[in-house]
Amino acid sequence: MTGSREPRSGAHPLRTGMCALAVPVLALTLSACAPEPGSVSWDENGSGPTATDEGKQITGDDESGWGGANDQEDPELKHAELPDGFPSADFPLPEDAVLDDAGARDPGTWFVVLRAADASQADDWWDRIVSDGSFTVRKAEKTDDGGRSAILVGPDLHASALTLAQDDGSVLLSYDLSYDPDAVG
C-alpha cells in the first residue's frame, strides 16, 4: 500500500447521535423503576415485603432494626442492653455511660451507641474508651458538625467511631466493632 491513510477525525455522526439519545432514554427508564414513597416492595434478600413511608423503611421480618426500620429516634427500635456476646472485656464502656442503642450485626460484629449529656461528657467518654481499651486512634478527623470520627485499633478489636451532636445539646457516640480489621475501615 502506497497511499497514506488519514486519521479518523472523530466518531461517526450517527453513532454520536444514537449515544446522545440513549443517555436520556436510559435515565428515564431507570427512574421509572424506582419505587414511590409509601410503596411496598420485596426486601433485599427476597424474604419479605418492605414498606417505605417518608424516609422510614419497615420490614416485617427484621427484629433487630439493622436493615429494617431506620428512624433512629423511635425508642421502639432501640435496644438499651448490650447483646449477648458483646466484647465488654475488649471494649470497656465507662461506668456512667448511657446506652442509647446496641446490637449485633453479624457474628463477631457489633454496634453500640452512647448518649452523652453534652460535648464535654462525650469527649470524656471517648477518651476513657480509648484509654481503657488500649486503642490506638487512626484516621482521626473533625466532622462538619464539630464532632469527630476515627478508627480505633486495639490489640484484637477494632472500631469505627463517630460523634453526632443532637439538637437538644446531647451527643451520640456511635461505635461499630469487629475483630476483623477490614470490617471497620
| Dihedral Cα 48, 52, 53, 59, nearest 10 deg | 30
Of 35-49, 65-79, 118-132, the one with minimum mean pLDDT is 35-49
Which tens digit of pLDDT belongs to each residue from 126-148?
999 999 999 999 999 998 888 99
The rounded distance, in Å, linking the Cα atoms of 166 and 117 is 10
Q: Is the dihedral of CA 152, 80, 58, 45 positive or negative?
A: positive
Which tens digit of pLDDT belongs to each residue from 51-90?
444 444 444 444 444 444 455 555 556 667 898 899 999 9
Q: Model-level pTM?
A: 0.59
Environment class of 93 (CB within 10 Å of its CB; exposed 0-12, middle 13-18, buried 19+)? buried
CATH number of 78-183: 3.30.160
Residue found under cell 467518654: 125
Torsion region of 23: left, alpha or beta (phi above 0 gives left; psi -120 to 50 gives alpha): alpha
Position 41 pLDDT exceeds 50: no
pLDDT of 175 reads 97
Position 119 pLDDT exceeds 60: yes
Average pLDDT, the chain: 74
Q: 3 or 89: which carries more pLDDT confidence?
A: 89
Q: Where exactly are the structural domains of the chain?
A: 38-71, 78-183
